[in-house]
């Protein structure tokens, strides 16, 4: 009997490891370093802007930004909690549907969650940068650098994340086909497994999208204590 070929474990963030596990394709370790990949993604005009940001004098502090205090921290936490809740509620609604098993509603839920995550994290990131830019020196420079890196990396990030619903669709079809071969489609155990896998991927994508925000918050709170409202 032929033995299944064991794939090498994929290193990296949870989101990447989940997609690799659910994908039917072998994922080879990257041949190029992160620095080499970044050099391919950054055109010369952005490279010049990046060099000026790193080497130039810190920008002047902007006025009018609120301090990052308990109220700001609570609003941030509430936004993340709301997105996490929406992930589960959307999948629960799919569980309650009377329609035959179909990936289309689940795909629409994933796309809707991606739009919600993009909008929410964009607003929060802009606000956190505004709060950093209100300070002087390295904090203001970091706000400027983050804005530049977002402009550089966002198109690639959006392109890669846009492929996730299709990858999950392939996983859905593999689970359904395997269940059909086993003759256990009536119990829909495979569909419950798929919804669990989708929830895990959505949660991991949410965590990944919040990483830049957490870095900005770390910079805000490390420079001065959180002010209590």
Whether residue 120 is predicted with pLDDT greater than 70 in this model: the reply is: yes
Burial of 169 (0-12, 13-18, 19+ CB in 10 A): middle
Q: Label residue 141 by pLDDT band (50, 70, 90).
A: confident
Please enumerate in sequence order all residues whose Cβ is within 8 A of that of 169, keeping only pairs 6 or more positions apart, or say none: 103, 107
Share of the chain above pLDDT 70, in %: 69
The DSSP bridge partners found for residue 227 are 69
Asked if residue 22 lies in contact with residue 5, where contact means CB atoms within 8 angstroms, the answer is no
Could you give the dihedral angle defined by the CA atoms of residues 72, 75, 80 and 84, in that order, rounded to the nearest 10 degrees?
160
Q: Label residue 133 by pLDDT band (50, 70, 90).
A: confident
Highest-confidence segment of 38-42, 65-69, 80-84, 156-160: 80-84
Q: Label residue 102 by pLDDT band (50, 70, 90).
A: confident
The residue among 81 and 154 whose pLDDT is bigger is 81
Asked if residue 116 lies in contact with residue 86, where contact means CB atoms within 8 angstroms, the answer is yes
d(CA 124, CA 210): 9
- 12-27 confidence digits (pLDDT tens): 578 888 998 998 655 5
Orientation of helix 34-41 relative to helix 138-161, angle to 10°: 80
Phi, psi of 62 (to 5 degrees): -90, 155
DSSP 8-state symbol, 134: T
- Closest by alpha carbon to 195, among 96, 119, 114, 123? 96
Q: Label residue 137 by pLDDT band (50, 70, 90).
A: confident
Orientation of helix 164-182 relative to helix 14-22, angle to 10°: 40
Instruction: Give the chain's mean pLDDT.
Output: 80
Whether residue 186 is predicted with pLDDT greater than 50 in this model: the reply is: yes
Asked if residue 85 lies in contact with residue 206, where contact means CB atoms within 8 angstroms, the answer is no
- 52-89 confidence digits (pLDDT tens): 666 666 666 566 778 889 999 999 999 999 999 999 99
The DSSP bridge partners found for residue 69 are 227
Please enumerate in sequence order all residues whose Cβ is within 8 A of that of 203, keeping only pairs 6 or more positions apart, or say none: 84, 87
Distances (CA, A) of 12 to 19, 156, 189, 207: 11, 18, 29, 14
Interval 147-175 mean pLDDT: 91
- Closest by alpha carbon to 59, among 167, 139, 164, 2? 139
Which residue has 């390295």 as its token pair?
Answer: 138
The whole-number pLDDT of residue 145 equals 87
Q: Label residue 5 by pLDDT band (50, 70, 90).
A: very low
Length of the chain in residues, anyone? 229
d(CA 29, CA 207): 23
Whether residue 166 is predicted with pLDDT greater than 70 in this model: the reply is: yes
Tokens for 45? 């005009």
The whole-number pLDDT of residue 206 equals 96
Highest-confidence segment of 29-38, 51-60, 137-146: 137-146
Domain ranges of the chain: 65-223
């Amino acid at each position: 009997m032929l033995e299944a070929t064991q794939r090498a474990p994929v290193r990296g963030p949870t989101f990447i490891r989940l997609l690799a596990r659910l994908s039917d394709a072998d994922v080879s370790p990257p041949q190029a370093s992160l620095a080499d990949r970044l050099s391919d993604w950054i055109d010369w005009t952005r490279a010049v802007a990046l060099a000026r940001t790193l080497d130039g004098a810190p920008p002047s502090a902007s006025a009018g930004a609120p301090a990052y205090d308990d109220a700001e921290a609570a609003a941030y936490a509430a936004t993340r909690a709301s997105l996490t809740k929406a992930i589960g509620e959307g999948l629960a609604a799919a569980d309650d549907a009377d329609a035959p098993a179909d990936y289309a509603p689940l795909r629409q839920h994933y796309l809707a969650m991606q739009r919600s995550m993009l909008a929410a994290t964009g607003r929060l990131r802009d606000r956190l940068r505004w709060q950093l830019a209100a300070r002087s020196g390295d904090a203001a420079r970091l706000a400027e650098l983050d804005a530049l890196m977002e402009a550089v990396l966002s198109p690639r990030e959006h392109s890669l994340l846009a492929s996730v619903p299709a990858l999950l669709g392939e996983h859905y079809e593999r689970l359904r086909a395997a269940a059909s071969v086993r003759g256990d489609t009536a119990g829909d155990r495979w569909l419950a497994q798929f919804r669990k896998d989708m929830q895990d991927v959505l949660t991991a994508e949410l965590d990944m999208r919040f990483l830049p925000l957490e870095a900005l918050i770390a910079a805000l709170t490390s420079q001065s204590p959180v002010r209590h409202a």
